[in-house]
Each structure stands twice: as C-alpha cells, then as structure tokens.
Amino acid sequence: MDGTLVNSDAAVERSWRVWADEHGFTMDDVMKVSHGRQAHATMAVLLPDRPVEQNLADNRAMLAREIADTEGVVPVPGAPDFMAAVADLPHALVTSADVALADARMRAADLRMPKIRVTAEDVGASKPDPEGFLLGAATLGVDPRDCVVFEDSEAGILAGRAAGMRVVGVGARAAAMSPDVHVPDLTHLRVEALPTGEMVLRVPA
C-alpha cells in the first residue's frame, strides 16, 4: 500500500521523527530499515536488545499518531486507474499497516479498498517474511507462482521473492533491488484482462 498505491512518505516521516528523537536516532537511520516493515519490526532492528513488549507499546503509539495524521497522503500517480483496471481480477492488498491505518490511508487517497486484504493483524511475521503474501495467495485461491507482487520497498521485494512470486518494483526505492520489472510509478503500466481471468501487464516503451 504505502509507496505502491499511496504516497504517505510525509506522514510516515513525521511519525518516525518523534520516535527517532526520543531514542537518539537520525531519520536516515530509521528510513534505511523502516520501509515495508511493521514499526515494531523496525524498532527491533534498530534496538536489538530491547524487550519486545516495549517495541509493541511504541508500535501502538505510533499507529495512533499515523491514523490521526493523513495530511499530504495522496495516491501514487496512476493508482486510481490501476485499481480500476484490476477490479474484476483476483487481487489482494497485503500491507504492514493494521486495518485502521490501511483504511485511513486508502480513504485519504480516495482509493478503493480491495475485498481481500492482509494486514498486520493477520500475520505473525513482518516483511521481509513472505507470510503475508502467501496468505494473500491462499485466500485468493491462487498458486503463489502465478502471482505478481507490486512493491516499493526492500523488505517487500524480498518477501515477494521468498513467496515465489514475480515482483514489479514501483518507484525509486525499488529500482535498487533489481525487481523482475521496474516502473517509476503506476502510470507506466497497462493492465489487460483476459477471458480466462488472467492478467497481462504491459510496460509501454
């Protein structure tokens, strides 16, 4: 969701800045590892000896701030047309956000929420673990090898690969991870629905 369908970078950075200042980290320290992960998983990377309970408590506080702060949250270019193009195709939203945050950001960006979604409440492990993507495929009833993941972050791309799925990288962060296909944003994709219910992706030259 974040970075792939929704540009929430400003809101994310505002929220993390509070935590970083409290714990003596720079924003560069945080941003290097935070994209695509649940907040408590990022905290565990930055403070490996810290009790899990403290990370989970900070995670809850951060989610509350992020849910309340949707200023500047907008769709990634091309996201509305992309969501319309896949509306009748099997698809799921797999996000590290919880239900409330996913709802808030999709609503702020005026994007349709897919009927099938996998959020933080549904998994025991954050990306780069593939659990979320595998659960999404299972819920759709689709073999993971027949799935395509759209991701912007290192953690998300690693999770998609670990799930055995092909990966379309979206945006500048994704380019460094050498995904199967890279596009600057979703305006660079065309989606074609086949009578079989399958999807053809075209990347215009």
Tens-digit pLDDT profile for residues 31-54: 888 877 888 999 999 999 999 999
What is the per-residue burial (b if ≥16 Cβ within 10 Å, else e) of 96-133?
bbbeebbebbbebbebeebeebbbbebbeebbbbbbbb
Give how many domains the chain has, as a whole number. Answer: 1
Give the rounded percent of residues in the chain with a pLDDT score beyond 90. 79
pLDDT digits (tens, 9 = 90+) for 178-188: 999 999 999 99
The pLDDT confidence band at residue 198, using thresholds 50, 70 and 90, is confident
Distance CA 20, CA 26 (A): 6
> So what's the pLDDT on residue 185?
95
> So what's the pLDDT on residue 204?
74
Shortest CA distance to 90 belongs to which of 170, 134, 146?
146
Q: In the predicted model, what is the mean pLDDT of residues 104-132? A: 95
The phi, psi pair for 16, rounded to 5°, reads -70, -30
Q: How many helices (H) and strands (E) does the chain have?
A: 9, 9
Query: Is pLDDT of 205 > 70?
Result: no
Supply the range of the domain harboring residue 74.
Answer: 1-205
Q: Are 78 and 187 in contact (CB under 8 A)?
A: yes
pTM: 0.84
For the domain that residue 98 is a member of, what is the CATH number? 3.40.50.1000
